[in-house]
Amino acid sequence: MKYNITGKNFKTYRRLEEQIEKKFDRLDKYFSEDITANIVLSHERGKDKIEVTINAQGALFRAEEVTDDVYEGIDLAVDKLTSQIKRFKGKLQKRYQNNKALKFEFLEEEPEDIEEEDEQMKVVREKKFELRPMDVEEAILEMEMLEHDFFVFMNSDTETVNVVYRRKGGKYGLLEPQY
């Protein structure tokens, strides 16, 4: 696995980068060599934050940790990713069986009740609604009026389906499709 380590309001240094690579080498056995782990380190409100995204040719793994110590955050992020990979082993094998980026022979399922997990992933409600063209500000207003955490809308500027959502801290995010 390759590593793309960046800092946002955070100064990285060689020893830290080496420690990150050493810790994330534990995940090498699950991925092919051409997979890149994007690791973003930041410092916000007196805490260190580590965000990790691994795109294994369509199978997306993500972990985010906020801690007082960046080294603790690295350990927690690696543990969280390992747990994700193990927990969804069966589903990953079914969906990505021809994916050469994932190495399934090293995956061991975590000892959880598989039937209970399948039950949790079932759709329990469907809702149909009309997509109206609007700008991002209108979508945020609609979301707030409905008291939802996200809102799907047709972006009048880009003419694509977008999602606005409330982020931790009260700010907003926008999801735009990329074709």
**Total domain count, the chain:** 2
**Is the domain of 144 the same as that of 102?**
no
37 within some domain = yes
Rg (CA), the chain: 19
Q: Tell me the pTM.
A: 0.60
Domain span at residue 165 reads 133-175
**Mean pLDDT along residues 5-30:** 88
Residue 9 counted as domain residue: yes
- Give one DSSP letter per residue of 124-179, joined into a string: ---------EE-HHHHHHHHHHHT-SEEEEEETTT-SEEEEEEPTTS-EEEE----
* In a shared domain, residues 60 and 103: yes
SS3 40: strand
Do 102 and 137 fall within a single domain? no
Tokens found for residue 63:
């972990």
Torsion-angle region of 176 (φ positive above 0: left; ψ -120 to 50: alpha; else: beta): beta
Of 14-28, 71-85, 94-108, the least confident: 94-108
58 inside domain = yes
Asked whether residue 24 falls in the same domain as residue 103, the answer is yes
Mapped onto helix, strand or coil, the DSSP state of residue 115 is: helix
* 147-161 pLDDT tens trace: 889 999 999 999 999
- Are 71 and 48 spatial neighbours (Cβ–Cβ below 8 Å)? no
What CATH number has the domain bearing residue 68? 3.30.160.100
* Residue 114: pLDDT over 60: no
87 or 41: which leads in pLDDT = 41
CATH of the domain at 151: 3.30.505.50
Round to the nearest angstrom and report the end-to-end CA distance of the chain: 26
Among 57, 70, 59, which Cα is nearest to 8's? 70
Share of the chain above pLDDT 70, in %: 79
70, burial (CB in 10 Å: exposed 0-12, middle 13-18, buried 19+): buried
**pLDDT score, position 129:** 82
Number of neighbouring beta carbons within 10 Å of residue 56: 23
**Nearest of 84, 85, 65 to residue 75 by alpha carbon:** 65
Asked whether residue 124 is domain-assigned, the answer is: no
Enumerate long-range contacts of 60-68, CB under 8 Å, 24 or more apart: 61/85
Does 82 share its domain with 145? no
